[in-house]
Structure 1
Amino acid sequence: MAESSKEELLELIKRLTLKISDLFSSSLNNLDTHSIGAVAGLAVAIFFTWRLLRSPSVSQRRQQKRQVASSSTPGVSAHSNAVVVPSGVCSTSEDSRAQNVVDEFFQPVKPSLGQIVRQRLSEGRKVTCRLLGVILEETSPEELQVKQATVKSSVLEVLLEITKFCDLYLMERVLDDESEKRVLAALEDAGIFTSGGLVKDKVLFCSTENGRSSFVRQLEPDWHVDSNPEIISQLARFIKYQLHVAPFRPERAAANVFCAPSLEHFFGSI
């Protein structure tokens, strides 16, 4: 096979590899059976093409060995050896490049954060989540009375991914109307309402911890996220899945309760 043809073939394999990688990373969950079969067939075709590309190089190396052996006989000059060796070196380089292309194609595709979120939530479609200590830096209602609320920067990306495919409700116990305004202002400044997945009507406020528990039971979500162990324990019988956010690993309340130091840690985003 001519060297220019090999170069063109290697370039074609690289382009196909990039296109297939883009396909997997952007729409892995949308592939049907026929699409997966087509991708698998293409992978096999690339592999055998590489084998065909590699075969002439093997023959060249064998021919080189015969030529080198014959050069030891009388009448063959040392100059002939100097001509043969670079050919073998070139073919080895081509083999290495082809192998790198094939290895690159078969590398596992890293799932996107959106795919991880959907997988971890087991395709749940409704999520309820408390604000203090999970979405907000503040951890008590008293803190909201004396200073502006602050959304955790590390949780923002995960929160926006959840709103893309889940019906999300945020809730918290507050002590006055001013605290409500501070919380809503912080969420708005963080851009949570502009993503299209969350509206202010889905941010709920109550005056007691039992009030938050009542909100969750009325909404009947697939998942509830909370940092209060008592609320987690109360809801374990009624909610399909729960995430208990705590800085240390607490004793698991039930089989359907998961634990993590933060919401973003649960989805592996940090």
Structure 2
Amino acid sequence: MAEASKEELIQLIRRVGAFLTVKFSNLFSSFTFNNLNSRSIGAIAGFAITVVFTWRLLRTPRGPQRRVQKRQASSPSSSGAAAQTNAVAAASAVCNPSGDLRAQNVVDEFFQPVKPTLGQIVRQRLSEGRKVTCRLLGVILEETDPEELLIKATVRSSVLEVLLEITKFCDLYLMERVLDDESEKKVLLALEYAGVFTSGGLVKDKVLFCSTENGRSSFVRQLEPDWHIDTNYEIISQLARFIKYQLHVSPNSTTRTMASNVFSSPSLELFFGCN
């Protein structure tokens, strides 16, 4: 049983080697040494490891199997049966669809693309922008109107992971129009309770408050961010000439005509592919 299992493993490795030869011939033809990246180098290293492992396994002495064959050769009747058995085994090794399928599955799993992290997605979607301004109502907070802040302020739990990823590599400023000082305190306490300030990327001094919508627009103009995120279509339209990229967050944003540098999404997290 042990010899059979070993032989089966060797056959599988041989098939994997054959499939790898095809895979890497296609891979090497698709790039040159001038455009090697970390994934290409990793693939080459993995291939080298596979070749070494296969070579070492195939060169392992198979003494016990030779001795069994010699003992079988001493009997004329058993030698004929052994020859027939070897012929069947050889044929099954060459024409074994299930073995080929297993080898193909191993190779496909080896070459399965690596899923990007949320941080990588955020950087890619923001086009490596380093400064971001974002309004609070309707984007970070569940409340959508300044009057609601007179009662309470609640951070949307679904946006927290994306927000924290943005603060890791972006200079982020949050801003909102409020009606009184108590509303400011409620917002800051809600952000602090949600852990937004504990990541080190955002401090309370970067949470800005104003008394008018035009005040928020003035903040953005002064800060000159790479990205501005807002729910107010009028502000988005006014800033389109001055800001490199903008994101309009609104359930109905896709029904309006946007400038070429303005993107739309029902929520901030959905813009980055988070449900």
Do they fold alike, i.e. is TM over 0.5?
yes
Q: Which residue of 2 aligns with 1:67?
A: none
Residues 50-129 of structure 1: matches in 2 within 5 Å? 83=85, 92=96, 96-129=101-134
* Aligned mates of 2:114, 2:264 — CA distance in 1: 27
**What SS does the corresponding residue of 1:234 show, helix, strand or coil?**
helix
Deviations 1:24-49 (CA, angstroms, capped at 9, x unpaired): xxxxxxxx947555324235446767
Which of 188, 200, 203 is 1:199 aligned to? 203
* Aligned mates of 2:99, 2:270 — CA distance in 1: 44
Per-residue deviation, 1:269 = 1.3
* Aligned mates of 1:88, 1:196 — CA distance in 2: 65
Amino acid at match of 1:143: E
Q: Does 1:268 align with 2:266?
A: no
* Aligned mates of 1:33, 1:144 — CA distance in 2: 52
Which of 248, 258, 263 is 2:263 aligned to? 258
Deviations 1:117-149 (CA, angstroms, capped at 9, x unpaired): 000000000000000000000000000102x21
Q: Which residue of 2 aligns with 1:21?
A: none
Per-residue deviation, 1:102 = 1.8
**Native 8 Å contact 1:138 1:150 kept in 2:** yes
Q: Which residue of 2 aligns with 1:223?
A: 227
Amino acid at match of 2:164: L
Deviations 1:173-208 (CA, angstroms, capped at 9, x unpaired): 000011000000100010000011000000000000
* Aligned mates of 1:130, 1:38 — CA distance in 2: 42
Instruction: Give TM-score, length-normalised by structure 1.
Output: 0.73
Assess, with a 3 A threshold, how the Cα gap between structure 1 residues 124 and 161 changes in structure 2: closer, same or farther. Answer: same
**What SS does the corresponding residue of 1:198 show, helix, strand or coil?**
coil
Q: Does 1:189 align with 2:159?
A: no
Q: Which residue of 2 aligns with 1:175?
A: 179
Per-residue deviation, 1:104 = 1.2
Which of 36, 39, 61 is 2:42 aligned to? 39
Paired residues in the alignment total: 229
Which of 154, 158, 172 is 1:154 aligned to? 158
Fraction of identical pairs, as percent: 69
Could you list the runs of 5+ residues in structure 2 that have no partner in the other structure? 17-34, 59-76
**What SS does the corresponding residue of 1:163 show, helix, strand or coil?**
helix
Once superposed, what is the RMSD of the aligned Cα atoms?
A: 3.6
Per-residue deviation, 1:221 = 0.1
* Aligned mates of 1:111, 1:34 — CA distance in 2: 15
- More deviation in 86-95 or 128-137? 86-95
Q: Which residue of 2 aligns with 1:24?
A: none
Per-residue deviation, 1:4 = 7.8
**Native 8 Å contact 1:130 1:171 kept in 2:** yes
Per-residue deviation, 1:100 = 2.8
